[in-house]
Structures are given as structure tokens and as C-alpha cells.
Amino acid sequence: MENTRPVRFSNIGVDTGGTFTDLVLIDAQGIIRTEKSFSTPDSREQGVFDVLERAARTLNTSVSDILSRTDIFAHGTTASTNALIQRRGARVGVLFTAGFEDTLAIARGPIGRVGGLPQSQAMDFIHTEPPEPIVPRDMVRGVVERIGSDGKVVTPLNEVVLRASIEDLIADGAESLAVCLLWAFRNAGHEERVAAICTDIAPGIPVSLSHQVAPKMGEFERAVTTVINAYIGPLTQKYISDLDSGLATHGLSNPIQVITSTGGAARAANVGKQAVSIVNSGPVGGLVAARFLGDQLGHKKIITADMGGTSFDVGLIDGDTLEEDPRPFLDHGLPVSLPAVKLVTIGAGGGSIAWTDGYRLHVGPQSAGADPGPAAYSRGGTEPTVTDALVVCGIVDPENFFGGAYKLDRNLSERAIADRIAKPLGLDLAEAAAGILEIVNARMANLIRKVSIESGHDPSAFALYAYGGATGAHCAEFARHLGIGELILPYAGPVFSALGVAIADIAYSHTRSEPMPLAADRTEAINANFAALRAAAATDMEAAGIDPAACTFRHRIEMRYRGQMNEVTLDWPSDRFDVDDIEVLRDLFEAYYQKRFGASTIRAQTPLELISFRVEATHPTSRPALAALDETAIALSSPKTRPVYLRDTGFMDADIIDFAALEAGPTYHGPAVIERDTTTIWLPPGASATMDTFGNLAVIPQAVS
């Protein structure tokens, strides 16, 4: 970032990751400025103010001055994710329909036991233990009531027993309540009455209702989603509220926006009711930014690869659609019933720890995180990591990490790899470091291949957008193993998720399950569902101060062959459905089904079932067109080289190029290291790169022979 005269910032996006907190500022002229700082796990909001302070120092101004000149402040956070993974949420009391108190413990067979685990662990059934429920059995109570599948009352609500149960849970220390009654999404009367009585008994206790949080079929998934919302809701609400008020105190005039699992943003006031949808919100921002940049560069088919300090995330974009996960898991044994952009994650980041069992070399999934971090950070870490391997191999310059603002200790990297990897395996130091990189690159290539092929896509037909602070050092290597022809490293790549957070549209989504056959006598019911969901989404927009007439509404249907367990989601291009549309919808379903599952998988004579309906309202966030970079590149000093170690080759001299010296147009050839203050880009031998006028690098990786 450069010093500049005061300007108005149209958008600010902040993404708090496990290791770094990233900042993007877009001014009214479309110029992007970026910053990074270390995350502060014990006080997430402090990390936000730290990165704002870094930006203020670079701009020679104050945080208050920046915020007072900002229109939109959007945030993606891992606060909810970490609270869930570390089991540091609220003490939750749960109310189920009497007779179903063991829903969380019984789960759904193998799904509850191994769901959400990496495949290697899930297949090792003998050594895999079922997860501990996030709510202990003694914090669950039964409610005497029953709603039937048709929405009619079978057993009236017994309020005397209910009051005793609520008082009992409060006495046992419940800090938040979750209410999950059978078929409540077909008739919410009992759940609403339970909520009223909860408020009457304990006015300060938040209550999560299943018909509001997850109004869909699937008793176990609906219960898990509601319980998670109650579990992380108080913490998430407090964090966002404190951050919002803190930013307002420092001059921000508009409430902050928080990105959700769908890739849209919601107002801060809605966070408590939809806390579960904010889990993993930050990484979704990368897909939003990739779709935005793809529109500029003409790419409609995009695979995204995001490598940070702790993890490697892969997503897929086909046209205007961000691929959704049909059954998202937030953690081991915790499937949730909510719309979520599909992101597949493995533990492969700059902080991933390399280790050996004495026979083989492994990388991850354990991570050194931000504290203590890789051995090279000099923060007490002694385990060898991917970052340490990059230092030993010469790809990362320990004197120029973070643009020289943070020095790394090469000696500590060498000691960690030598003691923990090289000596136990009888390897040379450099060979051990190169082996770490080869393994992590192969793991990332395999994940991309798995994500694309399992969705019915050929990865070679896609452009690969590589971003995240650590991806540049690896992407050319794993892209060539995939046959990728177009590899893009965006200008804002080191903070790409923060860019997506900054430009995310306001979006509200409502879903309702009402199973029915695809038949002529059900068109009225279909239209009634669409109308009710559209009205609910419009109400959300009005509450956010947005005119629904200025919004775009997307109508979707989840359906399946009769007798199947899982449904697919299709867009329906209208808010109306007529008898003549039955065959149109069937044709859409079968075309998608055959593409997704392969030729000859459709069953033309099998009836179709409609399971759920969804309406999404979207209002575009104001954002200026991005500006081209200043064409004046810094003058190159005398050419520099540095020895870089490659397996099967040994040390070779690589050109060292300052990113600020790159010009739009010329081609730069590997072996070369392109250094930025926020990332390092490695061009292996045979690879080449060209920069466009917006600062994006198009890389042609060398194909594997």
C-alpha cells in the first residue's frame, strides 16, 4: 500500500482466519488496498483493529479517519467456527418432543459416527469413535406434544410439564435453549408457544427454534442445526455486537455486514438468529471474489484453491452458480440442514506440521497455527512445517517475509526439519524439505481432482484461481499435475476472501419442506410455498432497510426420484408453476441428474417427488468498477538470483523478481520467485507468467510428461 491523499472508501472487507486477519479497502475510484496482520484468537475483535491500525499507518492517517470515510464494512469470521471446533460454546438446554430425547445420541447410523471425518479416518471404522454430543444427555428434556406430518395437532402441548422442564434446565445452568419439535416446520404453533413460555420464565436466555433455523425434513439434521445455533449463537452475537459498537465508536456510520455460508451478507442484527450460517463464512468469500473476477476475465468455469496458514479449501463455480454442498458437515458428526456453498477442506497450510512414523513422511492435518506457528517464526514452535520447508528449499526468503517487516529464522527451520524428519528417515536436509513440499502439493492436487470429478466435471476444462497467502508458492506445481491450462493468481490473492467479503451482496434465504409428488393437482401448493417464502425474504430485506422491489428473487426446488434418500436442487426460472411446467421440470431434473451421476442413470418411468422449496432474495452491494494499476513499475535493480532446491534436480539458480517491478504484457519464465510483501509466488522450470493491467497473474504451468 502507498501513501495517498484522503479518499472515500466504498467498501472495506475483513476476513479473520486462523493465522492471519486480512483487510481489503476499495476506494470510490475502484483502487484496491490490502493489509494483513496476525489473528488474535483470544480476542478476535483485536485482530480486526490491529489490521486497521496497520492500514492507517500506511495511509498516514488514523483508524477513525478511515472508518468515518467508509460506506460498507463487511466481515467474515472464524469466531463461530473455532467456538464449535474447540467446544467453547454456551451451555445449551434442549427441548424435544417427548419420546425423542435421544435424537442427538442416536444420530443417523454411520452418518453420526463418521460423517464429517476425512475419508481415510471414516474408512477406519474400527478405530473411529462416535463424537461426543455437544449437549450432554442431562441437558435434554421431553415436551409432551405432537404435530403430525400433515401439520395437524395430534397431542396438545402440555404447558404444565413444559414449564417444569424449562425451569429445570435453567436451574441446571442452561445459557441458551434449543427447541426441536417434530414436524414443527409444517405447523410452528407449539414451538412458538414454547418460545413464549421460555421468555416468560427466563427473559435473558436466547431461544433457537427449529422451524426458524432449519425448516426442512430430516429430524436429526434439523436438531443438530438448531442446537449448534443455540450453542454458538450467544458468543457470535456478542462478538459481532462488540465489534459493531467498537467500529461505530471509531467512526463507522453504518452497521457492519456479516458474510454467511451462502456467499451473501446479512446485517449484524440478524446474526443471533442465524449464527450457524456464519460458520466457515470467511472462506466462502473467496468464491464470491472468484466469480466477480471471472466475470471480468471471461471465465465461467472456475476451480478455487485457497491455502492459508492452517488449511487448504477447494470450491467450484460453474457459470453463475456457486456449487452447494448437499449435506454440509460443520464438524465430526454434525451435519446441518442449511444452504451452504460447497468448500472441501484438508489440513494443508503453511503451518501444517510434517511428521514421520519412522517409515513414511506425512504432512498435516495438525497445524502450528499462528501461535506458536512454524519453527521459523521464533515463537517457540519446534515442529517442522510447510513454511519451514519453503525456507530451507530457498523459495521463501527469511529476510523478506511480510515484505521484510517480520524476519524468519532459517536456522530454526533447518533444526526442526533435521531433527524431526531428515535424521529419522536418513535423508539429506534439503531432500527432506523438498519431500515435505512434494507431499503437500500432491495432497492439494488430489483434493482438487476429487472435488471436480465427484461433481461430474473435468478439471482440465476449468480455470484454476489460486489465492490465499500460501498458495502462490505451490499452485504452479499442483496445477500441472491436474492438466490445468489456465492458472490465475489474482492481484488481491493474498487477501482474496476479504475482497469477496467486501463485495458480497446482501442476501436472505428461506426454505420450507413440504413433500409432494410432481403432479397436476399440486401446482397450487407449489405456488403457495413460493409466495410464502418470497414474502418472508422480502420482509427480511425491509427490516434491513432495503426495498424488496430493488431485489432479485431466485426460486429453487429440491427434488428426487421417489424412494431415494437424497435430493438435488434445481433453479426454477419463475415464481409461478403451472401444469404445463411439469414436463419442463422433469426434463431439467433428468438433464442435471445425468450430468451429475453419469449416462444411463436416469429412470424415465419413476415418479418424481418435490421435497423442499427455497427462495433467495439478493440486493447488490454498491461497489465501484475496479481500477487498473498504475502503469509505473519500480525500476529493476541489477538482476538477482537465489538457489532453490528441487527434488531430482538439486539446487538451481532462480530469478528473484519484485512484484512491484512487474509490467503488464511481458512474459516471465521460471525458475523464478516473485516476491510480494504478503505472499511468495514460485514459478518452477518450464512455467511462465504474464500480468494484466489489473495486476492479475496468468500462469501457464508446465505439463507433467
Convert the pLDDT of each residue in 552-610 to its tens digit: 999 999 999 998 888 889 999 999 999 999 999 999 999 989 888 877 888 888 999 99
Nearest CA to 48 out of 252, 340, 315 is that of 252
613/602: higher pLDDT: 613
Pair 188, 179: CB distance under 8 Å: no
Q: What mean pLDDT comes out for the span 487-496?
A: 91
Res 2: pLDDT: 44
Distance CA 119, CA 124 (A): 9
> Do residues 514 and 613 both lie within one domain?
yes
> Do residues 517 and 494 both lie within one domain?
no
Res 125: pLDDT: 64
> Do residues 394 and 456 both lie within one domain?
yes
384/267: higher pLDDT: 384
- In this predicted structure, the answer to whether residue 7 has a pLDDT above a threshold of 90 is no
Select from 557, 584, 619 the last residue of a domain. 619
Domain range for 575 = 507-619
> Do residues 20 and 33 both lie within one domain?
yes
> Do residues 547 and 587 both lie within one domain?
yes
pLDDT digits (tens, 9 = 90+) for 17-57: 767 889 999 988 888 888 888 887 777 788 899 999 999 99
Q: Is residue 644 part of a domain?
A: no
Q: What mean pLDDT comes out for the span 336-347?
A: 82
- In this predicted structure, the answer to whether residue 91 has a pLDDT above a threshold of 90 is yes
> Do residues 426 and 526 both lie within one domain?
no
Q: What sign does the CA torsion over 468, 470, 471, 472 have?
A: positive
Q: Is residue 635 part of a domain?
A: no
> Do residues 500 and 512 both lie within one domain?
no
Backbone torsion region of residue 464, taken as left when φ is above 0, otherwise alpha when ψ lies between -120 and 50, otherwise beta: beta
pLDDT digits (tens, 9 = 90+) for 185-210: 999 999 999 999 999 999 999 999 99
130/610: higher pLDDT: 610
C-alpha cell at 240: 459481532
> Do residues 358 and 475 both lie within one domain?
yes
pLDDT digits (tens, 9 = 90+) for 222-245: 999 999 999 999 999 888 988 999
Cα–Cα distances (Å) from 221 to 106, 383, 475, in that order, read: 12, 38, 36
The percentage of residues in the chain with a pLDDT greater than 70, rounded to a whole number, is 94
Res 463: pLDDT: 92
Q: Is residue 449 part of a domain?
A: yes
Q: What mean pLDDT comes out for the span 628-641?
A: 68
Pair 340, 323: CB distance under 8 Å: no
Res 633: pLDDT: 54
Q: Which residues of 89-121 are buried (b: 16+ CB within 10 A; e: fewer)?
A: bbbbbbbbbbebbebbeebbeeebbbbbbeeee
Q: Is residue 49 part of a domain?
A: yes
Confidence bin at 3 (pLDDT 50/70/90): very low
Nearest CA to 30 out of 631, 623, 633 is that of 623
Select from 619, 641, 659 the last residue of a domain. 619
Q: Is residue 640 part of a domain?
A: no
Q: Which of 112-121, 152-161, 272-281, 310-319 has the lowest mean pLDDT?
A: 112-121
DSSP state letters, 103-150: HHHHTTTHHHHHTTS-HHHHH-GGGPPPPPPSS-GGGEEEE--EE-TT
3-state DSSP: the chain helix, strand, coil percent, rounded to 5?
40, 25, 35
| One-letter amino acid for residue 287 of the chain | L
Q: Give the CATH number, domain containing residue 205.
A: 3.40.50
Q: Is residue 42 part of a domain?
A: yes
Residues 6+ apart with CB under 8 A from 504: 74, 257, 259, 263, 264, 265, 285, 288, 621
> Do residues 452 and 577 both lie within one domain?
no
**Residue 319 burial (10 A CB sphere; 0-12, 13-18, 19+):** exposed
- The DSSP bridge pattern shows strands 92-97 and 140-143 to be parallel
Q: How many domains does the chain have?
A: 4
Q: Give the CATH number, domain containing residue 246.
A: 3.30.420.40
116/201: higher pLDDT: 201
Distance CA 35, CA 16 (A): 12
pLDDT digits (tens, 9 = 90+) for 264-295: 888 887 777 788 988 877 788 999 999 999 98
Confidence bin at 632 (pLDDT 50/70/90): low
Res 703: pLDDT: 56
> Do residues 373 and 471 both lie within one domain?
yes
Nearest CA to 699 out of 487, 409, 381, 468 is that of 487
pLDDT digits (tens, 9 = 90+) for 443-488: 999 888 888 887 778 888 899 999 988 899 999 999 988 888 889 9
Q: Is residue 662 part of a domain?
A: no
Distance CA 656, CA 642 (A): 7
Q: Is residue 655 part of a domain?
A: no
Strand partners, 511: 614
- The DSSP bridge pattern shows strands 92-97 and 176-180 to be parallel
> Do residues 344 and 478 both lie within one domain?
yes
> Do residues 76 and 119 both lie within one domain?
no
Q: What mean pLDDT comes out for the span 372-383?
A: 89
Quote the mean pLDDT of the chain: 88
Select from 231, 249, 270 the last residue of a domain. 231
C-alpha cell at 705: 510428461
